[in-house]
Structure 1
Amino acid sequence: MAARGKTRRFPTAYKLKAIKRAEGGEGVLPVARKLGIPRKILHDWIKAWKAHGPEGLNRKPGPKPGPRKLKPLQAEETKRSALALANARIAELERLVGRQQMDIDFFRKALRALERPAAQGKTASASSKSLKP
């Protein structure tokens, strides 16, 4: 294994031979062990070779320039996001109903408070009239 921080460079012919051996029936892991490279590197070489041919084996590592391609949402992820949106909407509506109920309770109490003095005033005036000759 190479020292940390240093990347080993392999010639394109070397990479192609490794790919042919792995795809020829030896398997990725045995070929990687024989060559002393990590299995992931050999998988990356195979993937680059299938995608871009021999030119793909000499590409620099790291992100490539240009816009990134986002993977389309799968059906299950779409269902989850739809469920999450529905749950968020339900929670929002429940909060709204709770606020409205608090407003209704407040106004009921205020109305009762306004009705009590009026009712008390009527009874007081009626009783005072009956006392007067």
Structure 2
Amino acid sequence: MAVRGKTRQFPTAYKLKAIKRVERGEGVLPVARDLGIARKLLHDWIKAWKAHGPEGLNRKRGPKPGPRKLKPVATYDDKRSALAPANARIAELERLVGRQQMDIDFFRQALRALERPVVQGKPASASSKSSRP
């Protein structure tokens, strides 16, 4: 696995010039190659610019302080909302049945192993049983 180096920091003016080039119609990939940066980084700059303006280009990485904003719960029409809990319950029951089947298979195999007679560490067949008292 490659070791990550120190992350480069770019001035806001540099980021703005790159964003303006893309807005003028140049492709993201050619601009990123020309500047020697990753295409994803340029996309991140554009996204931050659109969401927060110039302040968005100098935000620190990671979670921001303050209360967390929860994503809104997806709303469905009546049919979908009635089916969603049912589908979740079906999936839960299918997982349970799968676990139970694995348990049954395990115990069936263990029972077979216990039913086989063992002579000096090797299983013996029915025809080779000893007639010793």
Q: TM-score, normalised by structure 2?
A: 0.55
Structure 1's 14 and 89: CA in aligned 2 closer, same or farther, altered over 3 A? closer
User: Paired residues, what number?
Assistant: 89
Determine which structure has the larger helix proportion and give its number: 1
Query: How far apart are residue 73 of structure 1 and its match?
Result: 3.3
Task: Give 1:28's aligned residue.
Answer: 28
Task: Map residues 102-121 of structure 1 onto 2, 5 A cutoff.
Answer: none
- Cα separation, partners in 2 of 1:37 and 1:78, compared to 1, 3 Å: farther
SS in 2 for 1:50: helix
Q: Distance in 1 between matches of 2:56 and 2:82?
A: 37
User: RMSD over aligned Cα, in angstroms?
Assistant: 3.0
What residue is the counterpart of 1:60 in the other structure? 60
TM norm structure 1: 0.55
Unaligned runs of 5+ in 2: 95-133
73-82 vs 41-50, greater mean Cα deviation: 73-82
Farther-moved stretch of structure 1 (61-70 vs 10-19): 61-70
Q: List alignment gaps of at least 5 residues for structure 1.
A: 92-133
Change (3 A) 1:84 1:36: same
The structure with the larger Rg is: 1
**Sequence identity, in percent?**
71
Query: C-alpha separation between the residues in 2 aligned to 1:79 and 1:39?
Result: 43
Residue 45 to residue 90, structure 1, CA distance change in 2 (3 Å): closer
Q: After TM superposition, what 4+ stretches of structure 1 lie above 4 angstroms from structure 2?
A: 75-80, 88-91
Residue aligning to 1:119:
none
Tell me what 1:87 maps to.
90
Deviations 1:32-76 (A, max 9, x none): 111111111111111111111111111111111122222223357
